[in-house]
Chain A
Amino acid sequence: MDLINDFRDKDKILAISKLIKKESNKPLNIMEICGGHTHSIMKFGIPGLVGEHINFVHGPGCPVCVMPKTRIDEAIKLASMDGVIFCTLADMLRVPGSHTSLMKLRGEGHDIRALYTPLDALKIAQDNPDKKVIFFAIGFETTTPMSAVLVEKTLNLGLKNLFFHINHVTVPAPVRAIMNDENVKIDAFLGPSHVSVITGSNVYKSIADDYKTPIAVSGFEPLDIMDSVLNLVRQQNANTHEVYNEYARVVNENGNLRAKELIDKYFEICDFPWRGLGVIPNSGMKLKDEFASIDARVCFDCSVQSAKESKACICGEILRGRAKPYDCKVFGKVCNPQNPIGSCMVSGEGACAAYYKYAKRG
């Protein structure tokens, strides 16, 4: 068995495509929450395989896209300080803040590093005892446990020069915020793959019940997505709203318990100011107060005055599922991957970047 190519098999995809087209008989708006799914859907041409009734709405599941300008400005302020080595994961470097980006700052000579893994920050801190190393942590539940492991190792090693700027966010809170918006019409969800590995599929049960929306937790391969869409069509026809775990080869009901324990040990829930969605209560994570000595937001001055978002850019509407990239006046013109105006074009997982790469018109 080939765990990649067997899930990209043309005959199987086309057979499920036929079945979906046969059974789908009324409009179905499916929000794929995760940016990884957005890319798979566009890359493999899934919209053309599921018939005319199914409309994919792109959700807020891209940690770079939802990062508000204030947090990027905080990162820029910290990275500009003398004696600092600033570390984060790659995509964050290109996101424009109010006046500059981390990438531009790096070009001006500041020590800003994109890491392959958060664990690299440990060695950087050990190798540079005279510097303050700041790790700017981003990501949904998928990445929070990795930051927790890094915090644990930092404390165990007694490192005094590694600090954390935590921007972790959770999936259920923005999904609820979007569903509570009366202008949004979502009938069903593709549940995230990797987030669910950590949280477990049970985390969506209450959303499915509260909003009467079926949810299929899906893998990233085209066959996974097709099978999930078929399930959602069948649930629509049967008028049910179950959580279907299509990705059972790695996702279980309760998730990765060790990862969840680590998250609970070091982090607590807080409000978070999402780009495009505003402040959502209890939607983010921060270090617990007892770890204030390594919390960059406590140890350093992070006060910033952020500029408003560009009026031309409609990333906020796109993240809410109220608009598609094509609806944006600057999409593909002024705003492109080389010169991103909005975050959905910056990130490799953003909806605009996916449309630009796989479905650019004209």
Chain B
Amino acid sequence: MCLSIPSKVIEIDENNFATVETLGVRRGVSLDLIAEPVNVGDYVLIHVGFAMEKIDTKYALESLKVYENIVKEMNNETIGVYDGDMGLANRLK
């Protein structure tokens, strides 16, 4: 039931209904569950025909940066940058 693929908002109509694109497939989703403004170009997570939440690309980029550092560290066989950091916690909205 869970489709975890991020979907890009292509169009929003006056009934709070959006057309989103998921891996090249377009479908309609309701925006009734999202309180904050949604704009064309935003990424949303969808579930059974509803957008559940906007995806914050800032956090996604941050995560990927950390993983990049791990790659570098592991290639150098030294553990430092990620050491002692319990992960990416404390970054809650």
Binds B, one of A182-190, A247-255, A338-346: A247-255
Chain A residues within an 8 Å CB radius of B43: 3
* A145 shortest CB reach to chain B, Å: 6
* Whole-angstrom distance between the Cβ of B2 and the nearest chain A Cβ: 4
Q: Are B2 and A19 in contact (CB under 8 A)?
A: no
Is A170 in contact with chain B by the CB < 8 A criterion?
no
A161 to B: closest C-beta gap in Å: 21
Output the least CB separation between A46 and chain B (Å). 15
Contacting pair B34 A258 (CB below 8 A): yes
Asked if B92 is at the interface (CB within 8 A of a chain A CB), the reply is yes
User: How long is the Cα–Cα vector from A146 to B47 in the complex, in angstroms?
Assistant: 9
CA distance A42 to B2 in the complex (A): 16
- Give Cα A244–Cα B66 distance, bound, in whole angstroms: 15
CB neighbours of A97 from chain B (8 A) = none
What is the CA–CA distance of A9 and B61 in the complex, to the nearest angstrom?
14
Proximity string of chain A (227-244) to chain B, C-beta cutoff 8 Å, 1 when within and 0 when not:
100110011001010101
Tell me, rounded to whole Å, the shortest Cβ–Cβ distance linking B28 to chain A.
9
In the complex, residue of chain B having the shortest beta-carbon distance to the beta carbon of A16: B70
A-contacting residues, B43-93, CB 8 Å:
43, 45, 47-50, 52-57, 59-61, 63-64, 66-68, 70-71, 73-75, 79, 82, 86-89, 91-93
When the two chains form their complex, are residues B64 and A1 in contact, meaning their CB atoms are under 8 A apart?
yes
CA distance A146 to B49 in the complex (A): 9
Q: With A and B bound together, what is the CA distance between A253 and B4 in angstroms?
A: 20
Count of B residues near A, CB < 8 Å?
A: 46
User: Which residues A178-208 have CB closer than 8 A to chain B?
Assistant: 193-194, 197-198, 201
Q: Is B30 an interface residue (CB 8 A)?
A: yes
When distances are taken between beta carbons in the complex, the residues of chain A under 8 Å from B59 are 248-249
Contact of A248 with B48 in the complex, beta carbons under 8 Å: no
Is the pair B48, A146 in contact by a Cβ cutoff of 8 Å? yes
A246-271: CB near B (< 8 Å → 1, else 0) gives 10111111001111001000000000
Whether B25 is near chain A, meaning CB under 8 Å from some CB there, is no
- What is the interface residue range for chain A against chain B? 35 or more
| Alpha-carbon distance A19/B23, docked complex (angstroms) | 32
Q: Which residues of chain A from 86 to 143 have a CB within 8 Å of any chain B CB?
A: 89, 91, 116-120, 139, 142-143
Provide the residues of chain B in CB contact with A22, threshold 8 Å.
Answer: 79
20 inter-chain pairs at a CB distance below 8 angstroms, sorted by A residue, are: A7-B60, A15-B70, A15-B75, A18-B74, A22-B79, A118-B49, A119-B30, A119-B49, A139-B48, A145-B33, A145-B50, A149-B50, A194-B52, A220-B4, A240-B86, A248-B56, A248-B59, A250-B52, A251-B53, A259-B33
Q: Which residue numbers of A lie inside 8 Å of B, CB to CB? A: 1, 3-4, 6-7, 9, 11-12, 15-16, 18-19, 22, 34-36, 63, 89, 91, 116-120, 139, 142-143, 145-146, 149, 193-194, 197-198, 201, 216, 219-221, 223, 227, 230-231, 234-235, 238, 240, 242, 244-246, 248-253, 256-259, 262, 348-349
- Contact surface of B with A, Cβ cutoff 8 Å: 1-2, 4-6, 23, 29-30, 32-35, 43, 45, 47-50, 52-57, 59-61, 63-64, 66-68, 70-71, 73-75, 79, 82, 86-89, 91-93
Given contacts A149-B32, A231-B89, A259-B33, 16 further A-B contacts (CB under 8 A): A4-B6, A18-B74, A19-B70, A116-B49, A118-B48, A193-B4, A194-B2, A223-B67, A227-B88, A230-B87, A231-B86, A238-B86, A246-B87, A250-B55, A257-B35, A348-B1
